[in-house]
Amino acid sequence: MEQRVRAGVLEQGSVDLLCCSGLGERLQREGMRHEGIELRFDREAHRVPLTGLTGRAITVYGQQEVVKDLIAARTAAGGRILFEVDDVRLDGLDSDSPVIRFRRDGRDEELHCDFVAGCDGFHGVSRGSVPEGVLTTYERTYPFAWLGILAAAPPAVDELIYANHERGFALHSLRSPEISRLYLQVDPDEDIADWPDERIWSELRARLETVPGWSLNEGPILEKSITPMRSFVVEPMQWERLYLAGDAVHIVPPTGAKGMNLALADVALLGDAFAAWYAEGRTELLENYSRTALRRVWRAQHFSWWMTSMLHRLDTQDPYEAKLQSSTLRYVATSRAYATSLAENYVGLPEV
């Protein structure tokens, strides 16, 4: 869990939440505050001044660093985290005392609960524990995937570059002053074995080295993987005593950098709702959880779909759609109003 390379961008609200929860110490020391991003298309670079347009900024800090901080804080607070459990099943979700059953070290064990927070990811068991017919699924798959690499190369950028290119989308991100994180749009059925390091660098150069005087820094590739892209939501986010959060109920394509932020926003709502119930016996925050969370979820769904559609090469596109895509990019680059819309979604809307 602590090694797996995943997302890297925290909204201002996510940083504030982590800091308020006592998780900000390393984040504030090692996280890199960025006040803009770059859009690269038609052989030109356009900066979107996030902070200039919204007053807020993003922080680049790897998701697995957040996971490390969460595990350390929970352990230090005397909490128990059970790793390596198998055969997890949820029972009695429609009773006052649901039970989580699982196997650990070869033995059957049970956890008796007041509530179950289903934060177990897209492939977890929670969503599937809701009876048939209760949940409605909304989804979209895209005809491409992202090949991501982590490289021991000083990033050739101060801010993230999102590049639209006729060979396909590319993204230049980073993890530290010595480590670059880069992505390439590839076909969804692409085999990573067909992508030796030199092919990856040559494709990155072709898509990113499009403005005069700019070149990529290369170095040993430390990690590479291919991730499919999808948009996915199930509604409602709650059934009886089960409260679903994060990837267990919604997935966004990574282009808008929203996945980790949405998961944090869900658990922030849920945390407040549980606190109100345990401290004062109040139920309205629990009752409103799904409705409130889904407003942010759908804003992020739209934004992520929009960024994805604007920046990728769409194989199925007709010439009309290609013209619309390039007009959209130019509009973002030239209109303060449209750029502000991108910026406020990217840094995260405080209220949705």
Q: Which residues bind ligand PHB (CB under 6 A)?
A: 7-9, 160, 171, 173, 181, 254-255, 257
CB 233 within 8 A of CB 298: yes
b/e map 313-335, b = 16+ CB within 10 Å: beeeeeeeeeeebeebbbebbee
Q: Cα separation of 266 and 79, whole Å?
A: 21
Question: Does the active-site annotation cover 138?
Answer: no
Residue appearing with tokens 């739209």? 302
Question: Does the active-site annotation cover 346?
Answer: yes
Question: Does the active-site annotation cover 212?
Answer: no
Question: Does the active-site annotation cover 142?
Answer: no
The token pair at 202 is 């040559």
Q: Whole-number minimum distance, CB 179 to ligand PHB, in Å?
A: 10
Q: Which is nearer to ligand PHB, 93 or 329 (CB)?
A: 329
Q: Which is nearer to ligand PHB, 129 or 261 (CB)?
A: 261
Q: Whole-number minimum distance, CB 73 to ligand PHB, in Å?
A: 23
Query: Catalytic residue among 98, 155, 253, 254, which?
Result: 254
CB count in 10 Å sphere of residue 259: 21
Residue appearing with tokens 């898509």? 207
Query: Catalytic residue among 142, 243, 289, 346, which?
Result: 346
Q: Whole-number minimum distance, CB 321 to ligand PHB, in Å?
A: 22
Q: Which phi and psi (to 5°) does residue 259 adopt?
A: -55, -55
Q: Which is nearer to ligand PHB, 11 or 218 (CB)?
A: 11
Question: Does the active-site annotation cover 34?
Answer: yes
Specify burial of residue 29 (Cβ count, 10 A radius: 0-12, 13-18, 19+).
Answer: exposed
Query: Catalytic residue among 34, 165, 172, 250, which?
Result: 34
The residue number with the shortest CB distance to ligand PHB is 8
Rg (CA), the chain: 21
Query: Catalytic residue among 61, 142, 162, 243, which?
Result: 162
Q: Whole-number minimum distance, CB 140 to ligand PHB, in Å?
A: 17
Annotated catalytic sites, by residue?
34, 162, 254, 258, 346
